[in-house]
Amino acid sequence: MIAVGLALLSALSFATSTVVQHRAVTSVEAPPGRRRALRLVLGVLRHPSWLAGQAAAGIGVVLHAYALRNGPVILVQPVLSSGLVFSLALGALVDRGHPDRRLPEKPEWLAAGVVVVGLTVFLLSARPSAGRATGRPLVLLAVTVGALLLSAAAWGWSRRPRAPHRALVLGVAAGTGFGVTGLLLKDVVAHPLTTWWHSPSLAALIVVGAVAFPTAQLAYRAGTLIESLPSMTVLEPVVAVVLATVAYGETLAGGWAARAGQLAGLVLLTVGVVRLARLQTGPAPAHL
């Protein structure tokens, strides 16, 4: 299916962007001094690899939009979870020539294999219906407001110094926000390009994305990535799949065999993503 191929290419583009930008940031150096942070930022902004990573991210967004234009949300969003697997493989390829960098170990490859198996099982048993081309306006408005309120609540929770699980709460809010952006993006690209600037969904997409991104950054800084990244990675497709049934009327194939395959695929996908995210992040915390 065209949508699956485009979603895989989008996931590969995002993974390339992540790996390239991370390596660029860690390779930039600056002499110590009061303006060292500024020099580091300027060095990163001028680094060809970092700029290439930004270009790859832009390509990923375009491919994601085309995937949603050609297929249902409940098919496209889970495929984007394969980005973790692509990141693992690309990171290993890039780091092979650097003895000082840690290469993926067997448990990480096994977790990546579980992600691939789960995604394959889900896609083979899903056979989703296309549903509506555009989303129901009231549903899209409701999920937009809900995502923003959840982020506001998470931000308020994180400001309490003694609040437990701040990274987890912020990660849940960010993952929910990213899932909602997928719903909104599908509605935007379903309309002619000349009408986009008059689309309420585009305004909602910009607002939710502008809130979800800094929420994710706060989640990274509020605690260990082990606590925030798995929740973000899993919730993005789960939220999109659940809400797409209401917003677009999309449904998965019926029958006990198909339902069993879909459930097994999602469980394997979730377990693999969480395990891979935990193995890749490490335990080092960072505080607000």
Out of 53-57, 95-99, 165-169, 176-180, which region has the weakest mean confidence (pLDDT)? Answer: 95-99
**41 part of a folded domain:** no
* Percent share of the chain, pLDDT over 90: 30
Residues 270 and 94: their CA atoms lie apart, in Å, by 27
**49 part of a folded domain:** no
CA 103, distance to chain mean position in Å, is 23
DSSP state of 47: -
Residue 239's closest CA among 78, 66, 118?
Answer: 78
**264 part of a folded domain:** yes
Q: Is the pLDDT of residue 80 over 60?
A: yes
**44 part of a folded domain:** no
pLDDT band at 31 (very low <50, low <70, confident <90, very high): low
Largest CA distance in the chain: 66
pLDDT of 288: 34
Out of 18-22, 82-86, 123-127, 211-215, which region has the weakest mean confidence (pLDDT)? Answer: 18-22
Residues 132 and 151: their CA atoms lie apart, in Å, by 28
Q: What are the counts of helices (DSSP H) followed by strands (DSSP E) for the chain?
A: 11, 0
Helix (H), strand (E) at residue 71: none
Query: 128 Cβ partners below 8 Å, 6+ apart?
Result: 72, 74, 75, 250, 251, 252, 253
- Radius of gyration in angstroms for the set of CA atoms belonging to the chain, rounded to a whole number: 19
Q: Are 287 and 219 in contact (CB under 8 A)?
A: no
pLDDT band at 210 (very low <50, low <70, confident <90, very high): very high
Q: Is 65 exposed, middle or buried (0-12, 13-18, 19+ CB in 10 A)?
A: middle
Domain that holds residue 198: 107-281
**46 part of a folded domain:** no
Mean pLDDT of 2-26: 82
Helix (H), strand (E) at residue 139: helix 137-158
Query: Coil, strand or helix: which one is 128?
Result: coil
pLDDT of 286: 37
Strands of 77-234 (E only): list them: none
pLDDT of 287: 35
Out of 44-58, 127-141, 158-172, 239-253, which region has the weakest mean confidence (pLDDT)? Answer: 44-58
Mean pLDDT of the chain: 83
pLDDT of 266: 87
pLDDT of 154: 93
How many domains in the chain?
Answer: 1
**79 part of a folded domain:** no
pLDDT digits (tens, 9 = 90+) for 231-287: 888 888 889 988 999 999 988 888 889 999 989 998 998 888 888 877 765 443 333
Phi-psi region of 135 (alpha: psi -120 to 50; beta: other; left: phi over 0): beta
Residues 51 and 249: their CA atoms lie apart, in Å, by 39
Q: Is the pLDDT of residue 24 over 60?
A: yes
Q: Are 232 and 175 in contact (CB under 8 A)?
A: yes
**249 part of a folded domain:** yes
**159 part of a folded domain:** yes
Query: 209 Cβ partners below 8 Å, 6+ apart?
Result: 177, 181
pLDDT digits (tens, 9 = 90+) for 147-200: 999 999 999 988 887 788 888 899 899 999 999 999 999 999 988 877 777 789
